[in-house]
Structure 1
Amino acid sequence: MSDTLLRVEDLKIYYPVAGSGFGKKEFVKAVDGVTFEVKKGEVFGIVGESGCGKSTLGRGVCKLENLTSGHVYLDGEDITEYNDRRMRSIRKKVQMVFQNPYASLNPRMSVFDIIAEPLLVHHLYQDKADLEKKVLDLLHRVGLDDYHANRYPHEFSGGQRQRIGIARALAVEPSLIIADEPVSALDVSIQAQVLNLLNELKHDLDLTYIFVAHDLSVVEYISDRVGVMYLGNFVEVGEKDKIYSNPMHPYTQALLSAVPVPDPTAKRERILLEGSIPSAHKPPTGCKFHTRCPKCMECCKTQVPERYEVDDGHYVYCHLYDKERREQQK
C-alpha cells in the first residue's frame, strides 16, 4: 500500500476581480498550480510571507475553498469534484485547526457542545453517556478538565481556546489535520505549549499534519518536510534539515537569513530583498520572483521555471539549477 496520504496536482484557486469588464474576466491567482504530496505520519510545513497563498492552499485541500482546477487525492480517492453531501464522509478523515482561536469558536455554545457537535453530526456515539464520556476524554487529552466543559469560549485564554479547537478537530478521529497558523495569535510561552501538545498528539494518535505558518522557527521545530511558497507557487520543497542547512532557492536563502540567532556575538550575512511582493492579480511573467531576485537572469523574466531535483527529495523551482541550460551557455 502507498504511504502517501494526500496528493495535490496542479491545484489552482482563483478569485474573480469585481468590476473587471469589457468581456474579459480578471482573477486574483491566490494558488497558481501547486503540486505536492504528504506521507502518512509526517508533518508537512508550508511557509512564506503574508499573502503568498499558504492559508488558501490549506483551506483548498479540505474543500473549504472552491477549486478552480487541479486535483486533490486523499488516501487515493479523488475528492476534487465532491459536493457538500459527498464531502461529509471525507470530513471524518481531514479536519482543520484555524488560526484565530477567538473567532473559530461559537460564543453561544458551551465547550461541551462545541466538541460534541462533530460527534452528533457524524453519529459517532452510542448514547448520551457515551457522548459525554467521549467529550470529556477529548478535553483531558488536550490538557483541560471536566469543569471546563460547561463554560463558554469568552471565559478562556487564547491558548485554552486553541486547545478546545484541537479537541474539536480530534473528535472525528481524522487521519489528516490542517493547522492554519495555529500559534500565531498566542504568546511565545503558550506557543511552545500548543506545539508540544500537537507533537504529543501526532505520536499518540498517528496523525498527519499540514502545518501552515510564517514563523520559520516554528516550522523548523515541528515539521519533517517543508514547502516554501511565493505568490501562489512553491519555490522549494524538501526535508527540513536540507532546506534549513542548505537552502537552494534565492527566496528561501533570503527568508532564512532573516531568522534571529540566539547569540548576540554571531555574525550573519543578511540578504535584503528589494521591493515588495507583486500583486497576485497581475503577477510577473516568467519566474514570479524575478522582480526581487538578486540572481535574476534574462530567461527568468519570460520562462516559468520547472521543478529540478537538486538532491534526493529536495526540489527547487529555479532556472539556476537547469543543468541543460547552463551547459548550453558554456
Structure 2
Amino acid sequence: MTENLLSVKDMKIYYPVSGRRLGKTEYVKAVDGVSFDVKTGEVFGIVGESGCGKSTLGRGICKLEEPTSGRLLLDGEDISAYNGRQMRPVRKKVQMVFQDPYASLNPRMSVFDIIAEPLIIHGLTKTKEERKDKVLELLRKVGLDDYHANRYPHEFSGGQRQRIGIARALAVEPRLVIADEPVSALDVSIQAQVLNLLNQLKKEFSLTYIFVAHDLSVVEHISDRVGVMYLGNFVEVGLKEKLYKNPLHPYTQALLSAVPVPDPEVKRKRMILEGSIPSALNPPAGCKFHTRCPKCMECCCITAPERYQADEDHYVYCHLYDDKINKEKQQNFNLIK
C-alpha cells in the first residue's frame, strides 16, 4: 500500500440556501476544505456525528455531488472539472454502495436487470449469455442464489438488498468502492455478515474502500486508517491502531469514551460534550469545535488550527499540539512562578 489511488485536495461542497442576508447569498458548508489521500488496497474509514459531512464527502468523490472547489485525483487523473460525459469511463474505476438498501434499488427492475444495467451501459459483455453468466457469478460472490435473479427488491430482506447493491457496484470491476454507511440500516447480526463479505470481496477483487460510518466499533473492525470528521472538516487522521489507542483531538477522545466496553471489569471515564453541533450555515470562527471543547484556549476562538504531525501516519488539527502556543504557555507559567 504505497501509491495513492485517490487524492483529495481542499474539497469544498457548499449548498446555497434561499433568501439573502445583507445582499449576500448564504451557503451551507457541508464539506469545508477537506484534504486526504487513500492508498491502493487500504480501507479508509470516515467517522463523525450525523450531519458532519461524511456522506456528502463520499458523494463528492463519486461526483454525484458537484464539488464547489478543490481538486480530485483518481489514479493520477485529475477529474475535478469532468462533466457527466467525461465521467462515464471514470465511473468504472469508482463505485458506491449506498446507505439505504430500500431506496437504492429500482423496485420496478428485477435483480438480474439491476446488476446487468452497468454491464450494458459500459459495454462489458458482448452477448446475452455472457451477461447472464456474469450476473449469476456476481450473485454467487455476494452469497445469493441463481434463482434470486428473477425476483424483485421488495422480496428481499435488508441484508439481502445490500448484497444486491454490492453486486451491482462490483459489476464494472471498480478499483475504489465508497461504502456510505452500508450496515447502519441493518440488524447487528446482519451487520457482521455484510462486513465479513466486504472484507472477503476486498481480497478477492483487490479493492480499495472508503468506509463511511458513525459507529466507531464498526470502523475499527474493517479499516486500516481512520479520519474523524466534525462540521465539514477532519480533526484527526491516523492509523487505526494509533488513533484508537492514543486519540489526540478532544473530539476523538469524547467519541471513543462513549464506545461501550464488553468487559464489565473495565471502567472507562466518559468525556461528556456540552451543547450540540453548530449549524453548517454559520459555523464558529477559529476552531469549529471550540464551542464544545473542554480544553478550549483563547486562540481556538480566533484562529483555525493547522495540520500538526503527531507521528508517522497520524496527524491532528488542534492548537494543543502547536509548538509555538505550547512554548508561550510554558513561558507564562514560568513568569507566574
TM-score, normalization: structure 2?
Answer: 0.97
CA distance in 2, matches of 1:211, 1:62: 13
**Correspondence for 2:23:** 23
CA distance in 1, matches of 2:279, 2:55: 17
**Correspondence for 2:290:** 290
**Correspondence for 1:243:** 243
CA contact (8 A) 2:2 2:40 kept: no
What RMSD in Å do the two structures reach over aligned CA positions? Answer: 1.0
SS at the partner of 1:177? strand
**Correspondence for 2:160:** 160
CA distance in 1, matches of 2:49, 2:109: 34
Q: State the Cα distance separating 1:220 from its structure 2 match.
A: 0.1
Q: State the Cα distance separating 1:328 from its structure 2 match.
A: 3.0
Q: Which stretch of the first structure deviates more once superposed, 142-151 or 258-267?
A: 258-267
**Correspondence for 1:261:** 261
Q: Which stretch of the first structure deviates more once superposed, 116-125 or 13-22?
A: 13-22
Aligned residue identity for 1:255? L
Q: State the Cα distance separating 1:19 from its structure 2 match.
A: 1.5
1:209-242 CA distance string (max 9 Å, x none): 0000000000000000000000000000000000
Q: State the Cα distance separating 1:287 from its structure 2 match.
A: 0.1
Query: Does 2:114 align with 1:114?
Result: yes
1:72-129 CA distance string (max 9 Å, x none): 0000111010000000001000000000000000000000000000000000001111
Aligned residue identity for 1:84? G
CA contact (8 A) 2:30 2:52 kept: yes
Alignment identity in percent? 76
Aligned residue identity for 1:36? F
**Correspondence for 1:128:** 128
SS at the partner of 1:162? helix
CA distance in 2, matches of 1:199, 1:2: 20
SS at the partner of 2:45? strand
Query: Does 2:33 align with 1:56?
Result: no
CA distance in 1, matches of 2:66, 2:23: 23
**Correspondence for 1:301:** 301
**Correspondence for 2:93:** 93
CA distance in 2, matches of 1:195, 1:283: 35
Query: Does 2:147 align with 1:147?
Result: yes
Q: State the Cα distance separating 1:18 from its structure 2 match.
A: 1.0
Q: Which stretches in structure 1 are left out of the alignment for 5+ residues?
A: none
Aligned residue identity for 1:233? N
- 1:8-19 to 2 correspondence within 5 Å? 8-19=8-19
CA distance in 2, matches of 1:301, 1:40: 38
CA contact (8 A) 2:119 2:172 kept: yes
CA distance in 2, matches of 1:175, 1:266: 41
**Correspondence for 1:193:** 193
Q: State the Cα distance separating 1:282 from its structure 2 match.
A: 0.2
Aligned residue identity for 2:248? M
**Correspondence for 2:281:** 281
TM-score, normalization: structure 1?
Answer: 0.99
CA distance in 2, matches of 1:256, 1:18: 38
Q: State the Cα distance separating 1:22 from its structure 2 match.
A: 4.3
SS at the partner of 2:190? helix
1:56-85 CA distance string (max 9 Å, x none): 000001100011100100001110100000
Q: State the Cα distance separating 1:21 from its structure 2 match.
A: 4.6
1:125-164 CA distance string (max 9 Å, x none): 0111100000000000000011000000000000000000
1:289-323 CA distance string (max 9 Å, x none): 00000000000000000000001110000000001
**Correspondence for 1:214:** 214
Aligned residue identity for 2:129? A
**Correspondence for 2:335:** none
CA distance in 2, matches of 1:173, 1:112: 17
SS at the partner of 2:150? coil
CA distance in 2, matches of 1:328, 1:100: 50
Q: State the Cα distance separating 1:23 from its structure 2 match.
A: 2.3
**Correspondence for 1:232:** 232
Q: Which stretches in structure 2 are left out of the alignment for 5+ residues?
A: 332-337
**Runs of 4+ that moved beyond 6 A:** none
Aligned residue identity for 1:222? I
Aligned residue identity for 2:108? R
**Correspondence for 2:334:** none
CA distance in 2, matches of 1:2, 1:82: 26
Query: Does 2:204 align with 1:170?
Result: no
